[in-house]
Structures are given as structure tokens and as C-alpha cells.
Structure 1
Amino acid sequence: MSKIKIVIDGMEVYADENKTIMEAAEESDIYIPHLCHHPDLHDVGGCRLCVVEIQGTDEAQTACTTKVEEGMIVKTKSEKLDKMRRLSMELMLANHVDDCTTCPKYLKCELQSLIQYLGVSTSRLRRTLNAVIVDTENPLIVRDLNRCVACGRCVRVCRDVRGVGILGFDKNEEERTYVGVKDNLSLENANCRFCGACVEVCPTGALQDKKGLFKEGNREEVLIPCKHECPAEINVPKYVRFIKEGNFEEAAAVIREKAPFPKSLGLVCMRFCESACRRKDINGAVSIRDLKRFAAESDSYKWKEKSFKKENTNRKIAVIGSGPAGLTAAYYLAKLGHAVDVHEKLPVAGGMLSAGIPDYRLPKEVVDSEIDIIRDAGVNIITGSKIESIKALKDKQYDVVLIAVGTDKGVRIPIPGSDLKDVYVNIDFLRRDLINMDIDMKKSVVVLGGGNVAFDCARSAKRLGCEKVSVVCLEAADNMTASSEELEEAKDEGIQIYNSRNFVKIEECEGNVSGIVCQEVEDFYFDENRKLILNIKENSEHLISGEMIIFATGQRADLTAFGEIELSQRGLVKVDEGYKTNVDGIFAVGDAVTGTASVIQAIAGARKAAASIDIYLGGDGVIEEKLSSEQPLNPEIGMEEGFAKRECSHYKCVSVDKRIDNFDLMTVGLDERTAKCEASRCLQCDLRPQLKKSKFWTEYKVK
């Protein structure tokens, strides 16, 4: 398309012949005042702030609706234009609340910026403002019509860009124009898609995201909270959209771009993404973990054709520990061309995935299938290899050693009776078969602790034949660290939960355990030295009976073989930002560094550690790979009847009577129909950052 020349305020500007004066000016970084204009919306010239004078034309024209013509001479500044703009602005402000300091957009508001630029005051005009109650009843979005200037941006983006069209201009009893919702319904009942586009383009505080909906940070990231909150930054909206479209292989490839354990994550991920999902405040978060499971189970591994594998670097790396952190780091280091040996003290690889999480939650064959892919990448896994000296290991011609041992030592609280027979710690109990621990299961067991591992122990004990299983913890019922699903499923299985209890001693009778003596806790807190302070209810000491006790009150890393490695005050390996320890050539990652965390957090840290190690060895540290196809984003999502009320679908448990006496996988995932239906509940938050961010006048080169 041919370019034509125009002159704006004495400056020659070249623009396509179908452009407007406003577009030509913006492309040349020249500022013309505007409010109703937005780069993603068709222009209507409603605010009359962008008026300009064109040589040979008597009347001022709106720059956003006037097409350029060859040789056109445009003037954007004059006394006449200033008066016109001030009048337009004053008329808008006459209906706008005075106090801007209470607005969430204060100091980030386009209207406020324009007031400053134009030097406008409302003192000349009679105020016509009628206070309207701020509407906070809608999910996600606050509507404050006291701050609306009827610029129409929200109306146009909803109608023309999103294709939803539930916003429009209306008039009240006084014939005053305002932006209303279709048929005066709530956003939910008007079939709003809650995409947030209207909030994004609003130049004032008239439309706001509810407080706390997004965290502070980079706009491109925080506006997609599910991806932002995922430690590994998996592109959640992309794979959810692929599932909705029926492209399941591509969905699996998206997950594989960031995590080598998609099947395991689909079963045991902590669901940080769902906690951040904006849909949760409408009628429940999208079941992202279940969609991940569905995608992983539909994987045909075509992504392998796109996976990178660099040339051999002749560098050798030892990884101590084959949990998700160790194996993830090993996987990427092998792909980067390094020779990698993983040393695992247990007879099986997988760490807590294989030797900690019960089979009814995560079957061993699932973990094994994912470890096979890691082996295929060139990783050599040596099981039954306990490292006694890290120095001796490094001396075996390894260029780098990575400590990834995890926190696989249970903590036994030193209370009277803790050393009695039939008192165990969580990790030993869960991997009893692997370490050949002979446990004489009793009819009753008490598990001490309130996290997921405590319930793994309790529910495993139930499946091993214990008739009475109790979980006793310090935390109140609404403050337990175990997931809601663990709590509900455990209760269904008949497990009794005792909250707000302090452990006094383990009671014995003739040398045998008979229960745990507890006190009721009214509240507790930690002081400035992290010392636990308890407020105990008077005369509340009591016995919770049980013939067997399992401590599930925490885990720690076994670092006895690493005497030369500096530890933090918490007893964890101290590392810098690149995961380097105080000893040259020795790195550390995972729970040994962070304390007990989730699988996805271990994977995320391991990816960074692998990149850092590669750089240390002379590489570029680039592990990013594109395994999925490009996915064009269609901004037009359209109207969908009853969208806000679409129900949530998630995994189902097999009935209690069919799961309580075995370790078979107890959950059934989504089928194709329900997976596509669930994926269609997504609000498609990744569309919002596609809208261009309006520039303030201070950001233009020529003002």
C-alpha cells in the first residue's frame, strides 16, 4: 500500500492512505489529546478531545475519524483547539466524582493525566453529579458509574472485539447518558464472559478489577493468573484451549514444554493454578489439574520430533537423588549434551513420586513411564547408590555435582514415649516395603500431623486393615495444610480428625502404645524467634487411643554426607541465585534447598538449576523448547447463554467400598466430552494482554 505525506505541526509524516490523522500521528509518536480513542477499537470521535485544524477547512475535525490525504497540513495546537478541548473535558467532568485519591486508578488514570495536560478545572461549570451506589455485586468486576465519562470504550470492546455485546448506552430519568448492562441485568445474568476487556480499556476508574484479583507485577504475566502462579510457568490457557478444540496431542505438548512429569502432575499437583483461576469467584475454578491429566493420558508423543538434543559436550555431571527435582535437572542437562549419572539410594527411581505418594493417588507405573522418557534422553540412573562423601563423588571425574536429595527423613517430636515400639515416622511408614521395614499393623492407629503426608499415612493404614484411624493436629479445621480433597476423601473413608491439639506424651501400657495424650489448643502463634507459643485450654488433657503412632509432623533433608556444604539457619543447603553452593562445582536444588515443597515447585527449580549448570560448564543455558504448534488467538469469543452458570467437572473417586481395601488408583479422570466441556469454562484470560495498552501523553516523543 502506498504511503502519502502529510504535515503535522510542521513535521513531515508518512502514512498509509487508509489511516486516520490520529493513527498517522501515533505511528510517528506525536501526541494528540484523546480519550474515547483506543488503538484496538474503531473510532467514533465522541470525546471531541482530538480536534485538529486542517488547512483549507473551516471547521475543526476529529483526528480519530478523519482520513489522511496527500499534502494535508494539520495543526494540533491553537487557542481555539485548547478552548474546544477544555470545554469537552469540563462537560465530562461535570458528571464525574471530584475525589480521585480514593480511586484504585489514582495516578494511573488516563482521565487524570488529560486533566493535567489540558489544565482543566471544573470550577466554571455547575456540577450535575448525582451519586450512584458503586456496584460490587458482580463477580470479578466493580462498576462505579460515578467515575464513568461515557467514552464508550467498554461498549465497543465488548461488542466489536469480543462479540458479546452486553454493554450499551442508556439514559436515566434525567435523560443523562450512562453505560448500562443489557436489560439492566447483573453481568452474570446478562451472559458476561468476564474476559476483563472492558476493564482493560476503561480510561477511568469506572470499571475496576475487584481488589486482590491480580498481583502486582509485569502486566503480560499477572493478567494470566493461572500461568503466573504456576511455578513452572506452564501456558495453562493454551493447553486448555487446545483441549476445548479437541486437539489433545497439542495440549500434551504444551505441558511438556515446561515439565517432564505431566502424568504425575495430573494426579498430584498442588493446583496453584486453580487457586489463582479467576473463574473460582464465579462458580468454581476450572479443573485445570484434571485437564492436565486428560491431556497427558492422550499424549501420542509426537512432540518428541520437535524436542532439542545438543551435541555431546564431554562434560560429566552427577545428580544425587532421583526425585522430581533431580530427574528434571538431569533430563535437561542430558538434552544440553552433558553426560549425566543420577545416584539414587533406594532400589527404585522417582524419589517421593515412587517412594512416598501411595499408589492409590499415584501408581508406580505412571511414574515409571515418565522416567523411561528421561532415560531415553540419555540420563543414566543408578539405583541402590547411596553417596557417603560428596568429595569422593566429585573426584570421580565429575565436572559438576548436583545435590537433589529432597527431604526424606521424618521428624520424630521428642515427647515422652516417642521411642516406643510401634511408633513410626511418616516417610519410613510410606516406603516400608522398599526399606524392608517389618511393621506389625494394629487395629487402631493415630497419625500426628495435618498435612497431605499425614493423610497419606492415615489412608494407607486404613487400606492395610486398620479399623480405627485418627489424625490429630495442632491446626484448627479451617487452617489445615492438607488439601480439601484429602480431607473430604479421608472423612468418607471413616478417618477421624482431631483439630487444635497439642501433643503431651505417648501413653504406654506394659511397654505397648495405648494412645496419645493431648491438650486442647485455644490458639497459637510464632514469636519473633520463630518459637511456637501455645494457649492451652485449662483442664483439657485427654487421651486419644491407638495401638500405633505415626509422626507426620514434618520432614527434613539427610545431609550427613555433605559436611563441607554450607547450610542455612533452617538446616537446608545454602545456594545463590544460580543454585551454586559454597563449594565450586557443587550445586543444589529441590527440597534440600527450599524445604518440603510440591512436585511442580521442584520441577520449576530444577529447570533453573539445569540452565545455571550449563552456563557454568560453558553453555548458553537455554532449555526452552517449542513442542506445540502456534495457536492463533481469536479475540471474538462471542455470546454464550448461561456461561457463568456452567457447572464444574472434575475427577471422580471410586466408591469407598471399592477402594478402602486396596491401593488401586482411586480416581477416574475426565472423558473426552467432559474434558472439552470443562475446558470451555475457561475465561481465556490470555486474551486480555493482547489488547494494546494506551499510552499516556508523557510517553510520547512529541507532545
Structure 2
Amino acid sequence: MSNIKITIDGMELCADETKTVMQVAEEADIYIPHLCHHKDLHDVGGCRLCVVDIQGKEEAQTACTTKVQPGMIVKTKSEKLDEMRRLSMELMLANHVDDCTTCPKYLKCELQSLIQYLGVSTSRLRRTLNAVTVDTGNPLIVRDLNRCVACGRCVRACRDIRGVGILEFAKNEEERTYVGVKDNLTLENANCRFCGACVEVCPTGALQDKAGVFKEGNRNDVLVPCKNECPAGINVPKYVRFIKEGNYDEAAAVIREKAPFPKSLGLVCMRFCESACKRSGLNGAVSIRDLKRFASEVDSYKWKERAFKKESTNKKVAVIGSGPAGLTAAYYLAKLGHAVDVYEKLPVAGGMLSAGIPDYRLPREIVESEIDLIREVGVNILTNHKVDSIAKLKDQGYDAVLVAVGTDKGVRIPIPGANLKDVHVNIDFLRKDVTHLDIEMKKTVAVLGGGNVAFDCARTAKRLGSEVIVVCLEGEGKMTASPEEIEEAREEGIQIYNNRTFVKVDENDGKVTGIVCREVEDFHFDENKKLVLNIKEDSEHTIPAEMIIFATGQKADLDSFGELELSQRGLVSINDSYHTNIEGVFAVGDAVTGTASVIQGIAGARKAASNIDIYLGGDGAIEEELSVEQPLDPNIGLEEGFSHKECSHYSCVPVEERIHNFDLMTVGLDQESAKCEASRCLQCDLRPKLTKMKFWTEYKVK
């Protein structure tokens, strides 16, 4: 390989002799019109838009297929070349739909941009439109052959880049060339890998992502929806691919790069990634949470060798609250070299992880094992230490304080009977063993609420021997609890009453006898976020129960921190750097956002730790590479039956084996099922690696 000199439009350029005129022009930011050309694809010169004049050649040459030669003189602009390009474009447009405004690529279309650049009009040509029904029957991808100009980019991407090869040129009854699917099958039956490469390289609206597959936003982010939707930004495709390859240590390391609670997340994460998983539009999302659990369970902790730990900064930080947000922030602050004390009012660390989520979902020993790793980096956790004053705490020599108290105070709806002896709130009930609260179980229990915490209370009461009902405002299918929680509760014999509002707790001589309800036809929140109910006439009734548990919400216990400025919602107010109204005092987690998920708490804590470090004079850099670099092979190949592939489903032990104990009830994956499940991934992170083609307006020389 050697460099030679060529001239393009009077500009002398140094060129690699193995490259084409088009490639050299692009490197010099010189625009030559093109449509079938794409930087990642081998060139065929089919569209004839990139024709150029080369001194010594009688005929115009296609720039994308012509290799440079020493001393070559190229001219890209002339009336003859423009006329040739306009003719080629008009022929392509003769069978192209007129209306661009209805196309999803309107104003983002390479073809439309070229029409503008060349000043093309079809008015002098006889239109030969042959309307074809838009194919919306495939999962994830819409095919609109009315907008196809047979440039062949999709065919080459599918065949040459991905190694799948299910797209091909064909001819219709009128001998017109079009892009078809092999054997005229649907994409899924033709074993499409649904990688999206064909859509990405299509210069028109002929291939489109179905509406709703991706959100609006930065291209490189939204094209990988699982990673984009993870609040902590865990690189999901990377660790899934490592599992598929059998490299489990590296998979665990990828998760550890963003979250110090991978085992807990593997059991209780809200699975935002799975909700966004593109494969859910095919035959069900990849079981990402179960794969996370698998990787964390087989982790041999080799990632520790790559973890950073900075020298001491001689700065001290106090963290109030040892939930996932508080401990995550403490973990990173300690790694950044600060001395960190965590104050926890309960006898155990972990917040809701240890004292809120029942053991049958998240065994306490798992949380303790993860907290031990946080202690390893130097975090000092003080249990049974309730902080009553931020000012007094600061006086102990702390350079910064982080409030991460969570929302661990249950809410009682102010109805008659709410304060009777056998009426309890969710948090008190779930942590009664930790706080040694004397709660006498009754034969029948009514849990009020429709969220995950309500079902935690209900299923805990069931395991303690009670007959349990759940009563909630939301209708069937509208409850905020996860579908599996609801299904499993029903399997365990828990009855659910939907569309109910609560009037009062019924009682007889001070003893609870039931909950008086009314049926709700519908409800909404007005502009002031006040609940507005449409109650069914003459629907008041009593549901018998000897114990009531309110699980209708939680709030932060901020009674001891009167100096903190609160929002209208009663939450701690912070600025963009997580700073409160008090100098040197920061806040994070549910006390700031309201009750959220574990992964959301972790994500916020990472940002808070970074900002606290900057406040203390550091650079705020907490990112670390605990996993090795992973080469991405764009050639994913053809796999028979890929679209219909099923491996693992969320599962738990049979109801008769789980209903009378608090043993972990979910079943994890073994190596074979984990590798199989990981192989279902569509590898969405390959798509952003494809070059995003520039429009003519983006070139320096045009």
C-alpha cells in the first residue's frame, strides 16, 4: 500500500492507491452525489449518480467503483454529468411514490436530499407507479416497496455485513426489479435476525422501524433500548454476549461497572431493560434480569483486580441511610479516597433490601454478602445509629453529608378506624422482625393497595398462616404490581378486589371486622393532582377481615431534619448537583424522587457521589472498566428458527412448596439455559456501528 497524488476538481490530494475515487473524495470532505454507495458496503455503481469525468477516459466513470491511479485528474461537476445524474434520478423516481410528507423519513431522507441537490422533477416523464400494499405484517420492520429505488443497500448489508442473506433482488410480473425476501417468506419465517442493518442503510423510507420500537433521542443511545432504558446505563448487550460466549466472569464484571448490588438486582430489579427489549415485539423479551442473576451467582470476582481505589483525600463524608442509594454512594466515595461513615437507624444495613423486601424474593444473606464487598473498600457502617440533627452531625468533622433516608414511613389513609390496634402500615409490617414490633397475626387479613409492596405484604401474611385479600383502587390490568407478582399471589390463594375505594375500617368493640368499600367506575387526577373518583351508585359494602394493612404509599421520615428545604410533595429539594439548601449537604434516593426502584436509587447515587467528590476537590470520575474489551463481530450469520427461539421463562417453585416458608422461591438459570437465553439477543448494539451517511449539506466542498 502506497500513497499517490490525484486531483479532484482542482484540489491536489494524497491518496491511498487501494481506494476508489469516492473514498478519497469523502476523506477530503468533497461531495460526489451517490445513493447506492455506503461506506460500510462494497460498491456496485448501480445508481449511476456518482459519475465523474476522468481525464483520458472517453466515458464518464462511477466514482464508487473506480480505483485511483497516479496523476489521475477527476472532474465531478459539469452540465453533462448533471444531466446524466438527473436522468438516473428521474428513472428511479418514475416508480416512486409522490408524497414524501407521509413518510417517517421525511426531511431525513437521502433520496429527498438528492432531489433537492440535483433539482430533479418528474414532470417530463410518464409516471409508472405501481402501488403495492405496505407490508406491516412483519415484527419490528415495515416494508414499503412503493418507496424502494432498488439501490441494493439492504441486500448487501444483510448478505455481506450480517452474513444472513435473506434479502434478494427479484422481478415482479411487469419485470420490474424489487427487493424481496428469500422464497417470498415473511421475515421471521425466513430466519431474519432483526438486527436492523437493512433499515439503517436504507436511503429512503422503503424499510422502516415500526412505530414505538425506538424512542426519540440520541441515535447511538436509542438504538440500544435495553441499555438506554437502564437507569444506571449497564451495558446489557455486552454482558449478554459474554454469557452467550461462556465468559461468565467478564459478564459479571460488566454489571459491576455500574452497580454494586448485582445479585440483588438479579432478583428484584424492575426490569426496565426487558420492557424496552426489542425482541419483545418478536416472541418475548430476553430474560435479562435472570441473566444478570446467573452472572452474579457464578462471579469469581476477578473484576477486583481491575477496580480502582484512590489514595486518601483526608476528607470525611457522612451518609445518612444504608439503603441501595446510600450504600452505592458510600461505595464510590470510599473508592475515591474519602473516609465514609454510614449511619443506619435499624439494626441491619441495606434499607428496604434487608428490611422491606421479603426473604422469599430476596434472601437477607445475599444482601449481606454484597454489603460485605462495600465494607471491603473502606465504608464504615454504623447500625442502630439514628441521626437526629444534620447540624450536629456536621460538627463531628464531616466535610460533606449525604441524606439517603429513603421513604420508609408507611401512609395511613385518614379514614375512620385507621388507627385501630390491628390496623398496620406496610413498612412496619414488613420489617416487624427487624424492629421487634409486636404484630399479632389474624386469621383474615386485608391488604389495601395494588403495588408490589402491597403484594409483598399480602404474600408475607399468607406465609404466616392468614387468609389474605388484596383490595385496590386500580382495575384489573391497571395495578402497578408486576404481572408475575399478581399471578403468583393468585396461585397462592390470595383474592383480589379491584375498583374499590375505602370508606372506613369496620369494627366491633375496638376489634377490626372488615373494610367498608365502594365500587369505583373510574378515576383520574385533576390539574392539581387531586384524585377524582366516579363512584358506582349504591355500591357500599363490607369486606370481612380481622387485620388491615395499608399499602397505599410511603413517605420519607424527615421529622428530624427540619432545616432541609422540601418540595410541595414533601421530598428533599436538590439542585442539579444533588446539593440541598444547606452548604455541604447533599441528598439522593427515594427521599428526593419519591419511592422508586433499586436500580433508580443506584443510578442517582452514582451521580451524587460524583458531585460530592467534585465538591471535595476531586474530579468526580467514578467510571471504571472492570471487563475486557469485547470485539463485535458484525457477521452474525443465519440461524434456523431464530425468530421463534425460546429457552428460558421466569419461573418459581411450585406453590405447595413455597406457600409455607420464606425460602427463595424463584428458580435461576443453569449454564445451558443461560447461554441459550443469551443467544436470543438481537444484538442491537451492532446497529449504531454502521456508518451514518452524511447529507450533501454536511460536506465542506459540495
Taking structure 2 as the reference length, the TM-score comes to: 1.00
Q: Is the 8 A contact 2:195 2:686 kept in 1?
A: yes
Letter in 2 for 1:550: I
| 1:411-450 alignment, distance < 5 Å | 411-450=411-450
Deviations 1:443-472 (A, max 9, x none): 100000000000000000000010x20000
Query: Is 1:260 matched with 2:252?
Result: no
Query: Is 1:402 matched with 2:402?
Result: yes
Q: CA deviation at 1:435?
A: 1.2
Equivalent-residue separation in structure 2 for 1:686 and 1:286 (angstroms): 15
Letter in 2 for 1:44: V
| 1:667-682 alignment, distance < 5 Å | 667-682=666-681
Letter in 2 for 1:244: K
Q: CA deviation at 1:668?
A: 1.2
Letter in 2 for 1:8: I
Letter in 2 for 1:313: T
Equivalent-residue separation in structure 2 for 1:127 and 1:476 (angstroms): 55
Q: What residue number does 2:499 align with? A: 500
Equivalent-residue separation in structure 2 for 1:12 and 1:493 (angstroms): 79
| 1:352-431 alignment, distance < 5 Å | 352-431=352-431
Q: Which moved more, 1:644-653 or 1:242-251?
A: 644-653
Equivalent-residue separation in structure 1 for 2:470 and 2:392 (angstroms): 43
Equivalent-residue separation in structure 1 for 2:492 and 2:477 (angstroms): 20
Equivalent-residue separation in structure 1 for 2:573 and 2:647 (angstroms): 43
Deviations 1:32-73 (A, max 9, x none): 000000000000000000000000000000000000000000
Q: CA deviation at 1:652?
A: 2.1
Letter in 2 for 1:260: P
Equivalent-residue separation in structure 1 for 2:270 and 2:593 (angstroms): 16
User: Secondary structure, in 3 states, of the residue corresponding to 1:104?
Assistant: coil
Q: What residue number does 2:610 align with? A: 611
Q: What residue number does 2:237 align with? A: 237
Matched-pair identity in % = 81
Q: Which structure 1 residue ranges, 4+ long, deviate > 4 Å from structure 2?
A: none
Q: Is the 8 A contact 1:284 1:648 kept in 2?
A: no
Q: What residue number does 1:571 align with? A: 570
Q: CA deviation at 1:648?
A: 4.4
Q: Is the 8 A contact 2:362 2:664 kept in 1?
A: yes
Query: Is 1:96 matched with 2:102?
Result: no
| 1:529-544 alignment, distance < 5 Å | 529-544=528-543
Letter in 1 for 2:2: S
Q: What residue number does 1:633 align with? A: 632
Q: CA deviation at 1:2?
A: 1.4
Q: CA deviation at 1:412?
A: 0.4
Q: Is the 8 A contact 2:647 2:673 kept in 1?
A: no
Q: CA deviation at 1:161?
A: 0.3
Q: What residue number does 1:168 align with? A: 168
Equivalent-residue separation in structure 2 for 1:196 and 1:431 (angstroms): 48
Query: Is 1:688 matched with 2:695?
Result: no
| 1:463-482 alignment, distance < 5 Å | 463-466=463-466, 468-482=467-481
Q: Which moved more, 1:506-515 or 1:299-308?
A: 506-515
Q: Is the 8 A contact 2:234 2:255 kept in 1?
A: yes
Letter in 2 for 1:54: I
User: Secondary structure, in 3 states, of the residue corresponding to 2:15?
Assistant: strand
Q: Is the 8 A contact 2:86 2:118 kept in 1?
A: yes
User: Secondary structure, in 3 states, of the residue corresponding to 2:332?
Assistant: helix
Q: Is the 8 A contact 1:424 1:551 kept in 2?
A: yes
Q: Is the 8 A contact 2:52 2:61 kept in 1?
A: yes
Deviations 1:599-619 (A, max 9, x none): 000000000000000000000
Q: Is the 8 A contact 1:320 1:403 kept in 2?
A: yes
CA-based RMSD of the aligned residues comes to: 0.5
Q: What residue number does 1:315 align with? A: 315
Q: Is the 8 A contact 1:225 1:278 kept in 2?
A: yes
Letter in 1 for 2:159: R
Equivalent-residue separation in structure 1 for 2:623 and 2:545 (angstroms): 52
Q: CA deviation at 1:436?
A: 1.2
Deviations 1:363-393 (A, max 9, x none): 0000000000000010000000000111100
Q: Is the 8 A contact 2:344 2:382 kept in 1?
A: yes
Q: CA deviation at 1:650?
A: 2.8
Equivalent-residue separation in structure 2 for 1:28 and 1:52 (angstroms): 16
Letter in 2 for 1:128: T
Q: What residue number does 1:624 align with? A: 623
Q: Is the 8 A contact 1:650 1:670 kept in 2?
A: no
Equivalent-residue separation in structure 1 for 2:518 and 2:170 (angstroms): 64
User: Secondary structure, in 3 states, of the residue corresponding to 1:675?
Assistant: helix
Q: Is the 8 A contact 1:17 1:69 kept in 2?
A: yes
| 1:171-210 alignment, distance < 5 Å | 171-210=171-210
Q: Is the 8 A contact 1:93 1:149 kept in 2?
A: yes
Q: Is the 8 A contact 2:317 2:341 kept in 1?
A: yes
Query: Is 1:28 matched with 2:28?
Result: yes
Deviations 1:470-517 (A, max 9, x none): 000000111110001101111110000111101011101121101101
User: Secondary structure, in 3 states, of the residue corresponding to 1:208?
Assistant: strand
Equivalent-residue separation in structure 1 for 2:443 and 2:367 (angstroms): 32
Q: Where in structure 2 are there 5+ consecutive unaligned residues? A: none
Letter in 1 for 2:656: D
What number of residue pairs does the alignment pair up?
Answer: 702
Q: CA deviation at 1:439?
A: 1.0
Query: Is 1:46 matched with 2:37?
Result: no
User: Secondary structure, in 3 states, of the residue corresponding to 1:378?
Assistant: coil
Q: Is the 8 A contact 1:444 1:548 kept in 2?
A: yes
| 1:74-85 alignment, distance < 5 Å | 74-85=74-85
User: Secondary structure, in 3 states, of the residue corresponding to 1:433?
Assistant: helix
Q: What residue number does 1:158 align with? A: 158
Q: Is the 8 A contact 2:141 2:207 kept in 1?
A: yes
Query: Is 1:342 matched with 2:342?
Result: yes
Q: Which moved more, 1:398-407 or 1:1-10?
A: 1-10
